[in-house]
Amino acid sequence: MAQHVEDLIGDAVYDLGGAKIGKVKRVYVDNASGAPTWASVSTGLFSEDSLVPLAGAQMRDDPTELQVRVHKEAVKTAPHLAHDGLITQDSENDLFVHYGVDPNRAGWEEYGRHAGTGTGRESRAGGPAGTTGTAAPEPTRPDMPTTRRPEFLVRSEERLNIGTRQEVSGHARLHKYVVSEEQTVTVPTSHEEVHIEREPITDTSALPADFGEQEQEVTLHQDRVTVDKEKVPVERVRLVVAQVEEDQTITETVRKERIEIEGMDRDDKLR
């Protein structure tokens, strides 16, 4: 078993099933308890370092091999360490959620306090982590500098990014079919009628006096209405797509962080 936290640097890290994850590059401790909490592990030549929880970790038979309580796949998908080597409170919370680690039991309790005092998390391999505190010097690794972390909090908030995307809203098509309707049209017509016309004869010698039974017949005519149908084009019909502009009101909930002073007798809050 490693006697000091810095002895873990360079140790091989294996997952819960015995698969090798990588090698330890840094160790982060909790300043409140002094227990190691996270190990920055190099998983490959071109890969970013991954943070692995040390809660429940054990040294293997080989004292240079460390076995952690998570699987390699979880390490591959874990949030990566920032390039400045710092672990912010938000980043640590994301790691707790990702690995399912209880924040109150995140330390490797087999180790005691191995560094100077502070108020945040410290790295034992060349850089601090967290939001406050300073890292203890590493005498055996002069190439890893000591850096003071800024003593401030960063407030963040969500902002809406509104945009539009075009999508299919429906289909329209023309369909032609036949209906029947009645039409009433007034057509002028004519017909012939017969009536008796009497004309007195003044010259009795001008016409013979045919006495007896006789008949005279005339042919009468009339207009008869005839109906015929023909198909004729009356109009062209087509679909035309028009762009219509309108305003839509969007309501969404966003979150923002608030920062307030604790431990002081004042009611005002700082945003």
Q: What CA–CA distance (Å, rounded) separates 217 from 208?
A: 20
- Global pTM value: 0.41
Residue 22: is its pLDDT beyond 50? yes
Residue 146: is its pLDDT beyond 50? no
State residue 151's pLDDT score: 61
Strands (E), 55-187: 58-59, 65-67, 121-123
pLDDT, mean of residues 216-238: 94
Mean pLDDT of the chain: 78
Query: Which residue shows structure tokens 């997952």?
Result: 15
The band of 121, judged by pLDDT with boundaries at 50, 70 and 90, is very low
pLDDT, mean of residues 35-42: 87
Closest by CA to 97, choosing from 116, 111, 115, 77, is: 77
State residue 135's pLDDT score: 36
The band of 116, judged by pLDDT with boundaries at 50, 70 and 90, is very low
**Lowest mean per-residue pLDDT among 33-42, 63-72, 173-182:** 33-42
State residue 134's pLDDT score: 32
The band of 196, judged by pLDDT with boundaries at 50, 70 and 90, is very high
Q: What CA–CA distance (Å, rounded) separates 3 from 134?
A: 22
Q: What is the pLDDT of residues 69-96, one digit of tens each?
A: 999 999 888 887 666 667 888 888 888 8
Q: What CA–CA distance (Å, rounded) separates 18 from 106?
A: 21
Residue 139: is its pLDDT beyond 50? no
The band of 155, judged by pLDDT with boundaries at 50, 70 and 90, is confident
CA 126 vs CA 6, 52, 91, 117, 141: distances in Å: 11, 17, 19, 16, 8
Q: Helical H runs in 80-122?
A: 89-99
State residue 237's pLDDT score: 94
Q: What CA–CA distance (Å, rounded) separates 146 from 139?
A: 11
Closest by CA to 58, choosing from 50, 49, 68, 48, is: 68
Q: What CA–CA distance (Å, rounded) separates 37 from 26?
A: 11
**Taking the alpha carbons of 9, 118, 80, 35 in that order, is the dihedral positive or negative?**
positive
State residue 179's pLDDT score: 95
Q: What CA–CA distance (Å, rounded) separates 46 from 64?
A: 23
